[in-house]
Amino acid sequence: MDRRRSFVRGTVQRRLISGLRAVAGFHFERWRLDTLSGSSLLGEQVQAGLAPLVGVNTWQGELRLGMVFDTRDDEVTPRRGVLIEALFGMADSSVVGDVNFTRFTGSAAVFHAIGERLVLGGRVLGQTLSGSPPVGSYFAVEASERAFEGLGGASSHRGLYTDRFLGQDKLLANIDARYRLTGLSQLATVDLVGFIDFGRVFQASDDFSLKALHVGGGVGPIITIGRNGVIGWTFAWGPDKLIVQTHTRWMF
């Protein structure tokens, strides 16, 4: 599948009480999906008339609203605290764009430091699309800080290629153990991360079960430079055998 997209996105957040804030924003993009040479399931759907928006430029406008509860001690490399998000999005072609759907995303992440060097972290996330979303709208997974794409890749499942699985509904879980190998004051630190990632996608006709759950795990070094700079690599073994990912931020 050949995918091209351009977008503009904005978010406003207002603190209500300590740790709790309201989120509002918009996402407006133009995307285009095309089939590649050779046979494919998408090509067969195009031939059968089941994928009408493939091969044409499609405009998508989405309004987002939500609530966030955040007690992390640091947004870039948290060692303690929780992050809970409940986000609602709506695209309406009668207002703007070419597509219609509603999106609900719920997630929770927790971090706990054991001593000075070890940090344990975990995340669960679920997202559902309803209405009549075309396949090009399946890619985005919403978040209050920055959305990421489908199931697979550096932000969702490190044991899968980017956008390896697409579906209207998504279920994702991650478990991390970060161990600090060395540090140079506040200039730079080197951590070793070990992880296990779980996830699957659903279509409207699928049963909500853990069948077809994709599991992968691995390790990798992550370098944090100052407060905001992150660069690292993970080496994971999963359904697609060995996957090497480059990271420019912590996964969650």
- Mean pLDDT for each consecutive 10-residue tract of the chain (252 residues)? 84 94 94 71 58 78 96 91 97 92 97 95 96 87 88 93 89 96 78 96 76 93 87 93 92 88
CB atoms within 10 A of CB 153: 18
Cβ–Cβ under 8 Å, residues 105 and 143:
yes
- CA 128, 147, 70, 173 dihedral sign is positive
Pick the CATH number of 66-247 from 1.10.3720.10, 2.40.170.20, 2.40.160.50, 3.30.360.10: 2.40.160.50
d(CA 125, CA 83): 11
What pLDDT is attached to residue 193?
A: 97
Looking at residue 252, what is its pLDDT? 87
Cβ pair 171, 202 in contact under 8 A = yes
What local confidence, expressed as pLDDT, does residue 250 receive?
A: 87
Count of CA atoms in the C-beta half-sphere (13 A) of 29:
17
187: phi > 0 → left, psi -120 to 50 → alpha, else beta; which? alpha
Residue-level pLDDT at 201: 92
Q: What is the pTM of this model?
A: 0.87
Residue 110 has a pLDDT of 98
pLDDT at 235 (0 to 100): 97
What residue segments make up the domains of the chain, in order of their start? 66-247
Tell me, what's the pLDDT at 206?
72
Among 157, 142, 141, 77, smallest CA distance to 111 is for: 77
* pLDDT for the residue numbered 231: 93
Give Dmax over CA atoms of the chain in angstroms: 61
pLDDT at residue 236 in the model: 97
Q: How many other C-beta atoms lie within 10 A of the C-beta of residue 3?
A: 13
